Amino acid sequence: MSSSSSSSEDTFKSPALPPPHHPHHHEEPSSSSSSPIKIGLVTEQLEGPIEGSIDDVEKIEVEAEKEAKISIQAPTLHYEVPPWACEPDPDAKFQLEILKEGKMVGTFDLSQRKHPTFVVFGRIHPGCDLVMEHPSISRYHCILQYGDDRMSKTGKGWHIFELGSTHGSKMNKKRLPPKQYIRTRVGFIFQFGESTRIYNLTGPQDDAEAEWDCSPTEMKLRKHKKELEAKLRAAAAQEMIEDEKRDAKGGR
């Protein structure tokens, strides 16, 4: 019995021996330890192209954001063309001379406008015909509208329309009222916002205002002379009244 029990114990213990499993345990750590190295190598190999592609993607996203911001910042022009609007004669050759400190720095051909009957002044490049970069200029600042306003009986020509800008506009050094069509003519000058630039409308002479028969200085002298003559007449009349009073007292 003892011999059979010892042999059975040997046969029982032999399957439980762990040595056959040790090689597998040693291979697993080696394989697991090698896998991070492989992953690391793959990562290092891909770092170059991935980084470059990310830069390209970021650049594209930045450009897209810029374009989106520009489109958001460009509002719609809220302006209705009047029923009396019409296109100017293409042979009229209307232009704006741009003057700065007494010197002409450029011209703008009104036939190069984006709209059939009007020209837009302002600070926005896509929406404005004549772009002004001075900070006092509104995004949409002013309109130059061509047409024949028969209600005002001013004849066919250009009309300036102030869009209610913050810093306003001037024509011939006089501030323009907002949201009103004011007839303008060849030879008139415009100023927008706080900009020192002057815009002079040029074109056919039949659109110019009738010339004065004298210079502005002569007109002032004539006005002063009339005022002086009126004062002298008033003084002479007062003196005559005083003389009559004295004569009346002497007659008594």
Of 127, 130, 142, 147, give the one whose Cα is nearest residue 175: 142
E strands, the chain, in order:
95-100, 103-109, 118-122, 130-131, 140-148, 156-162, 169-171, 174-175, 181-183, 189-192, 198-202
d(CA 58, CA 66): 12
- Say if 124 falls within a structural domain: yes
| Tokens read off for 249 | 């007292």
pLDDT at 7: 47
- Say if 240 falls within a structural domain: no
Q: Give CA torsion, residues 175, 109, 116, 155, to 10 deg.
A: 50
pLDDT at 127: 86
Cβ pair 181, 149 in contact under 8 A:
yes
Q: What is the pLDDT along the chain (252 residues), one digit of tens a residue?
A: 544 444 444 544 555 555 555 555 444 444 444 444 444 444 444 444 545 555 565 566 656 555 555 545 568 899 999 999 999 998 999 999 999 998 999 999 999 999 999 999 999 888 899 999 899 999 999 999 999 988 877 889 999 999 999 999 999 999 999 999 999 999 999 999 999 999 999 999 989 887 655 555 666 677 777 788 778 888 877 888 887 777 777 666
Domain count, the chain: 1
- Say if 28 falls within a structural domain: no
- Say if 59 falls within a structural domain: no
Determine if residue 212 is left, alpha or beta; phi over 0 gives left, psi from -120 to 50 gives alpha, anything else beta: beta
- Say if 77 falls within a structural domain: no
Whole-angstrom CA distances from 138 to 53, 88, 118, 141, 188 are 41, 26, 18, 5, 22
- Say if 184 falls within a structural domain: yes
- Say if 192 falls within a structural domain: yes
pLDDT at 235: 82
pLDDT at 20: 56
Cβ pair 201, 172 in contact under 8 A:
no
CATH number of residue 137's parent domain: 2.60.200.20
pLDDT at 40: 44
pLDDT at 38: 46
Whole-angstrom CA distances from 172 to 79, 84, 131, 184, 212 are 24, 25, 21, 10, 16
Full domain range(s) for residue 199:
110-205
pLDDT at 56: 61
- Say if 193 falls within a structural domain: yes
